[in-house]
Amino acid sequence: MIPCIESGIPGFDDLTKSESGMGGIPENSSTLVYGPPKTGKTIFSNQFAYQGLINDEPCLYIITDQGIKQLEAMMFDFHRPINKFIEDKTLYIIDTTSDISEGKPQQNGNIVYSYINNPTDIMVKVGSGVQCVYSNNPRFRSVLDSSTTLLAYNENMLILRVLKAYLMRISETGGSPIITYTEDSADKKVETMLKTMVDNIVRLDGKELTVEAMKGIGKRSSPYQITDEGLIL
Amino acid sequence: MIPTIESGIPGFDELTVSEISEGGIPKKSTTLIYGPPKTGKSIFCNQFTYHGLLKQEPCLYLTTDQSLKQLQSNMMEFQWLIMNYIQNQTLYVIDGISQLSGAKLGETNNIKSSSVANSSDMMVKMGIGTRSVYKKSNHFRSVLDSLNTLIAFNPDQMVIRVLKAYLRRIREAGGSGIIAYTEGVADLETENILKSLFDNIIRLDGENIHFEFLSEEDDQLYNFESTYTITDKGLVIGKK
């Protein structure tokens, strides 16, 4: 039996049910969510993060595409308010964008800022972030949304190494990480490498969600919609 | 007849029977296993390793994509329990990735920690590892899973150099080596050089397995092809 955690996406856990697993995302495994732009990758990640939070699984969230305010607003729009989790410190956010656009926001224990063009600094903060969420609960989640921006601002191979280190760090401590990536935003080589680094691969194309790889199950897919409750299969 | 060893993959040895071979992986040869991501390359390698261990053939395992801990849990899913073999030292592991996560690996006689980012250290550890398994039996297996992370951390030229050194050591010691690589991770040019370094090539595409080996006996290229599926017993050849 492969132990799984709830994905938070209605229909996803049913889709991934098998003889050896109860459906969901296999515990302590890493997932790549990719697809063309605007297909719901961020929404998928947010639902995953939120489901963890309401299940008492803390989350380390690294945002590179939007600032913390936008993240909060977006989650709120989908009826998933996160301010409570920021307050009780189960949600740990590394924001790599706000500094650039909004001047100097306030830094507190579980909200830290980094720079998109400084992967070393991001890794240092991931290190302390992991320690913090891990001490809360060794069963935690992590989201990196998205790798595309990191790739755009830095040398590709460097980012692949950073992502590998990130995935190793989360996996070794018992967490389940998700990385998002916009298809064709970098070299095909990068995409292949990303796929080899993760355990599970989920592709969103706007209409269909395809589980291209996952422990214990073969390829599966289902149509999906984005509603005001988020992604629904 | 060329001497072979059992692959451990149900159906594979039957598939590869020919006029000059009883089927299986040619003994003392090196094999590249490649294909797109998530097609079962690691599973093949692990099955090959475990089968050897069951037959008292020691194994030198270089893990560069997954930590030893992840390797153990992945093998556990197929009921391939390697703990005993680590304890009785027939399985020698070089973990080239744990250091990256900051995890401290407890080194023992047969568990060594190295780093994909430090190719000279990898080469030194490979040398020591080969000697160690060779002393146990000159009939040993070796797996390197995989070249991908090495390619991410080093220039292609360096990876080829490391690989050449490794293959030479395995050949000299008389072992049978399998090396995994994900298609498309390196440039086409590098990929072609890679392929040229091996005696045998296996390609997995998710549905079909293709095996090609060059016989030293009659200088002929032998090709075999079949379908395969991934089951809870690992890879199974020729069943739909």
Q: What's the rounded mean pLDDT across residues A202-206? A: 95
The length of chain A, given as a count of residues = 233
Q: How far is A223 from chain B (nearest CA, A)?
A: 23
User: Can you tell me the distance from the alpha carbon of A81 to that of A129, in angstroms, rounded to the nearest whole number?
Assistant: 21
Residue of A nearest to B79 (CA): A1
Check CB contact of B236 with chain A, cutoff 8 Å. Answer: no
The yes-or-no verdict on residue A105 having pLDDT over 60 is no
Average pLDDT over residues B91-113: 90
- Per-residue pLDDT at B219 exceeds 80: yes
| pLDDT at site A100 | 55
Report which DSSP code applies to B98.
G
Q: Which residue's structure tokens are 């893990």?
A: B63
- Taking CB atoms and an 8 Å cutoff, what residues of chain B touch A210? none
pLDDT in tens, B133-176: 999 988 899 999 999 999 999 999 999 999 999 999 999 999 99
Find chain A residues with C-beta within 8 A of B67's C-beta. 168, 171-172
Percentage, residues of chain A above pLDDT 90: 64
Touching B: A residues 118-177, CB under 8 Å: 127, 157, 160-161, 164-165, 168-169, 171-173
pLDDT at residue A215, rounded to an integer: 83
Of B65, B77, B186, the CB nearest to A215: B77
Q: What value does the mean pLDDT of chain A take? A: 90
Inter-chain contact A197–B100, Cβ cutoff 8 Å? Answer: no
What are the tens digits of pLDDT across the range B156-167? Answer: 999 999 999 999
Q: Which residues of A touch B183 (CB under 8 A)?
A: 192
Residues A188-198: tens digit of each pLDDT: 999 999 999 99
B3-43 tens-digit pLDDT:
999 999 999 999 999 988 899 999 999 999 999 999 999 99
Contacts with B36 from chain A: Cβ below 8 Å: 192
- For A92, the domain range is 4-232
**Model confidence at A21: pLDDT above 80:** no
CB of A216 closer than 8 Å to CB of A26: yes
Across the interface, of A168, A188, A212, the residue whose CB is closest to B100 is A168
Is the ipTM beyond the 0.90 threshold? Answer: no
For residue A101, name the pLDDT band (cuts at 50, 70, 90): low
pLDDT score of A103? 56
**Which B residues in the span 150-189 are in contact with A, Cβ-Cβ below 8 Å?**
152-153, 182-187
- For residue B19 the two structure tokens come to 């006029």
Contact assignment for A192 to B101 by CB distance below 8 Å: no
The span from the CA of B172 to the CA of B166, in Å, is 10
Q: How many domains are contained in chain A?
A: 1
Q: Pick from B101, B153, B183: which is nearest to A172 by CB?
A: B101
Residue of chain A nearest B234, judged by CA positions? A216
Residue of A164, A196, A198, A200 to mutate when probing chain B, most B C-beta within 10 A? A196
Mean pLDDT of A33-59: 95
Domains defined for chain B, CATH in brackets? 4-16+31-237 (3.40.50.300)
CA angle B99, B194, B177 (to 5 degrees): 65
Per-residue pLDDT at A218 exceeds 90: no
- Confirm or reject contact between A214 and chain B (CB < 8 A): no
Answer yes or no: do B101 and A2 touch at CB < 8 A.
Answer: no
Alpha-carbon Rg for chain A in angstroms: 16
Alpha helices (runs of H) in B30-155, residue ranges in sequence order: 41-54, 68-76, 83-87, 119-136, 147-153
Average pLDDT over residues B57-64: 96
Which CATH number goes with the domain that contains A148? 3.40.50.300
